[in-house]
Structure 1
Amino acid sequence: MIEESSDGKDVKEPVAGLTAASSCIRFSLTASSSLSSFRPVYTHQCFEGECIEGWRPLPEAERQSREVYRTWKFDDVGPADVVDDIEGGGGIHKSYLRCPSNAERIDAHIILSPSCDECRIEIRTTRDADRGGGEPIAKKAKTVSFQDVVRKLSPAVPPIASVGVNGADRAELVPTHEGVTRHNALGGCLPKPLGRVLKTYRRKVKGGVSHESSEEDAEFVLTLADGSDSEVAEYHNSIQPLARWFIETADDVDLTDVSRGYWKVVYLFRCLDSSSQSSTVGLAGYFTLFHFKSPFRKPRPGIIVRVCQALILPPYHRAGHGSEMLMSIHDYANNTIEDEYSSGMEIVEINVEDPAPAFVALRDAVDYQRFTSTKKDRMIRSMEHDVTKKDFFEVSEEDLLSVAECMKITKRQALIMHHIFKCQQIMNWKQSLSSDDEAISYDKLIQDVETKYRLMVKKSLRTFRQEELGACGGKEAQKILLGQWFDETMCHYHRVLKTTSPIDYR
């Protein structure tokens, strides 16, 4: 699932390489030697306390972890989940408390095949930690063996083709599964994209193991695959364990299960060999889509599509792939072809299951871009009113349903689009005011408009977050919390407006 780490409190979103365990683990794609290795964000599903017992990261990895912490601590808002490390003379994540200062060093390198449906694990340490039956030499502190490290990694990686330790092949460490044939060679690319091609486009791919600033031009393909297809289901079962490292509460889904609905997957593939007529591809990311019928939905029944898991591999971050994928999902919803599961019903809504903050930002930016490209004057009547009028700050149920139906989004998301649009209108209005002798009266007018806008946004925050407000001790605490939420919301709205093309709605 796309879930945020939140229990109602302000909690910092973790980042890659922050914890002790994540600094001991790195991934590489064999698709291109120019791509940097990358570290996981979450390790709690594999290693208790986000630490590999008895081990510390390699010195350079630990140094980078400290740098990650410093950036994370001072750039984000919220309580830092850290401790002061007296030995190192600087802050470090609390998971390092579980690592003895004299612990041996380990680097678990997971090399993914281009298709990401197989991997090889290469372990490097500052000593040989095993003796005969895999028992650790040192008894000063509990140290998990190589066998235990591989066993703990296994549920969160694709099928393991081979394992190496300090340059030596260790076939006995490869987990054996019934019906699976073990082989040493790492798999390659997919001969062709899985599913129906939705879109092909080009992007620059940044990076390099040596932190080079060079860019490589690459072609990407978006496809829509049917979960009931046995080839798709088998492939997805191999790659989906990777989500555990990047999505906090990720778990596996059975794409063939149609008991409550049906599954489709939007895959993002990178073309690796365009010289041949049929280009081979490697995985760059995927979104899983769960479809279910909603016969009593207002204003009309239909099929709801829920984005359940969204994963783009880190080497392809910040290249606009998430926007392309979300846009393609909406295009698919607007041009849906009837299939055996839809019973003639059309897609009427797309929503997201428990989105993390980063995905909320992506979704809102994409939705607002779509919102501004539609005929807004037909969707919201309050747009007809001047920002100084009372009616400007009111939106009817009819207007919200109109936006939601037109864009195939939830009513709450339609209200957010309304708020962002109003924010843009007020910004444009303020810029249009001339600075003359009547500036003082403008100040009062601006204050009045901003107050009404603030009350409008706070009203919706109060409506949709009643449970959290109810947990506060008294009205004063609620007032403070609402003020904090409003400030965070406005920062978010301004970021959305910065990422979309400036449009003058005066």
Structure 2
Amino acid sequence: MAAMNDMEKKLAEYKCDTNEAVCLKLVRFPEDIDDESTTFHPEYSHQLYGDDEVAFGYKGLQIQLYYSAGNLSTLFKVKYTARVTDKFDCVEPDDVEGKIREIIPAGFCCNTDDFISLLEKEANFKPFGSLLHTYKVHNVEAGEDLTYQIHKVDISCPGFREYHERLQTFLMWFIETASFIDVDDDRWDFFLVFEKYNKDGETLYATVGYMTVYNYYVYPDKTRPRVSQMLILPPFQGEGHGAQLLETVHRYYCTSAKVQDITAEDPSENYVKLRDFVLVKLCLTLPSFSSEKLSQGFSEEMVSEAREKLKINKKHARRVYEILRLRNTDMSDEEKAREFRLEVKKRLYGPYRKNQRELTKMRKCLRPEELASHISQMDTRLQHEELEKSYQDVLAEYRRVLERLAQA
């Protein structure tokens, strides 16, 4: 047994955390290749390397995936200081390279010199599609305002299909349940964010992030655009690009009479925060969301104006109303704070009420002991506690949105 433990210990030295081992880079200049500070790592690698996110068989493993900043031409290399087969004959290392080859399209470089010669062609790269929006962000490090552009593209645009194949590989590392989409379905719209920058007096473009939207058919003659994937690449996160992108996409669809409303597929917590901020910002301009209207409660007028002018559905309009109502409520005034709390709790109570209605129906067909277990789940005191907790969570979410709005 002791020998086995020794063996296990020795083999454990050949385990690597794949989130650490995978090194990603967006390269603008040849000197970025060896510059540690430009490297970033995945948030997730379980889609390729299993739930424990471990690669076995190597010491000092480095899986390098470097992309040129604009066109995303790819350099792929695997490095390590030792391999398990150097010491143990009967143990096979994991095929870490094969896993990457499954997701990156053909045509990548394995040699740094080839990659540098591709980097020199970056000056020829221009953003795809049509320009929808230009904005500036002040960059503290550079001490200047940097310019960004948002473009709308469809798959028929020359060169875009191949570029998109390279771009979507980032999803695997940063979206927990990512999957690649069928681009041949012409209901997809693509929105891309680029940074405009200078290199030796030439204007170049760097890829910042993107969004894919699927246009669902709604009977009889409408569509419902649904946000499917959205990613701002890590070097650009926290600079407000997500909000710019989502607002631009909303404004784009708002102009179409065919669009019923805009939704999102399985939105993450971060996406919901972003959407709250963008929709609140957009609704501030609507007369039905003025201060005096907010104090009169949630209305049909709000629902129809949000839908007609901004393609916001009723559920999201209600959330915007609550956030703006909070902004207008003096929460130190006990009576006003109570009114606000009761109104939000009444909405939150909806699902509990539904449960109770279902329970009444179930009484007719359940055996007594089954009914008892369901009733215990619906214990009133417990319900009140749950409701209070839900309310406090919602309040915290709303306050974060209002903080961001105040900063903007």
**Aligning the two structures, in what range does the TM-score lie when normalised by the shorter sequence?**
0.7 to 0.9
Equivalent of residue 22 in structure 1, options 8, 19, 29? 19
Cα shift at 1:308: 0.8
Cα shift at 1:205: 5.1
**Are 2:302 and 2:317, in contact at CA under 8 Å, matched by a contact in 1?**
no
Q: Partner of 2:64 in structure 1?
A: 109
Cα shift at 1:457: 1.4
TM-score, normalised to structure 2's length?
0.78
Q: Say what the alpha-carbon RMSD is for the aligned residues.
A: 3.4
| CA 1:216–1:202: 2 relative to 1, 3 Å | same
Structure 1: how far apart are the matches of 2:216 and 2:278? 23
Identity %: 23
| CA 1:474–1:31: 2 relative to 1, 3 Å | same
Structure 1: how far apart are the matches of 2:200 and 2:217? 44
Structure 2: how far apart are the matches of 1:288 and 1:267? 9
| Aligned amino acid, residue 110 of structure 1 | L
Q: Within 5 Å, give how 1:141-152 maps onto structure 2.
A: 144-145=93-94, 148-152=95-99
Q: Within 5 Å, give how 1:82-481 maps onto structure 2.
A: 104-115=59-70, 117-127=72-82, 129=83, 136-139=85-88, 144-145=93-94, 148-159=95-106, 161-163=108-110, 187-188=118-119, 189=122, 191-204=125-138, 217-229=145-157, 231-258=159-186, 262-273=187-198, 279-295=203-219, 302-336=222-256, 346-376=258-288, 382-383=293-294, 385=295, 392=296, 394-427=297-330, 430=332, 446-463=333-350, 473-475=377-379, 476-481=381-386
Query: Where in structure 2 are there 5+ consecutive unaligned residues?
Result: 1-15, 359-373
Report Cα offsets for 1:107-139 as digits up to 9, x if no partner: 222111223543212333232x27xxxxx3344
| CA 1:191–1:411: 2 relative to 1, 3 Å | same
| CA 1:412–1:109: 2 relative to 1, 3 Å | same
Equivalent of residue 486 in structure 1, options 380, 386, 391? 391
Query: Where in structure 1 are there 5+ consecutive unaligned residues?
Result: 1-18, 56-102, 131-135, 170-182, 207-212, 337-344, 386-391, 431-445
**Are 2:190 and 2:210, in contact at CA under 8 Å, matched by a contact in 1?**
yes
Higher RCO, 1 or 2 (CA under 8 Å, sep at least 6)? 1
Structure 1: how far apart are the matches of 2:354 and 2:23? 40
**Are 2:71 and 2:163, in contact at CA under 8 Å, matched by a contact in 1?**
no
Cα shift at 1:141: 9.9
Cα shift at 1:358: 1.1
| CA 1:477–1:118: 2 relative to 1, 3 Å | farther
Structure 2: how far apart are the matches of 1:369 and 1:114? 31
**Are 1:461 and 1:482, in contact at CA under 8 Å, matched by a contact in 2?**
yes
| CA 1:465–1:251: 2 relative to 1, 3 Å | farther
Report Cα offsets for 1:260-318 as digits up to 9, x if no partner: xx1111111122447778x432311111111123125xxxx622211111011110111
Q: Partner of 2:42 in structure 1?
A: 40
Q: Partner of 2:55 in structure 1?
A: 53
* Number of residue pairs the alignment of both structures matches: 367
| Aligned amino acid, residue 154 of structure 1 | R
Larger deviation: 317-326 or 113-122? 113-122
Structure 2: how far apart are the matches of 1:487 and 1:140? 59
Cα shift at 1:185: 6.4
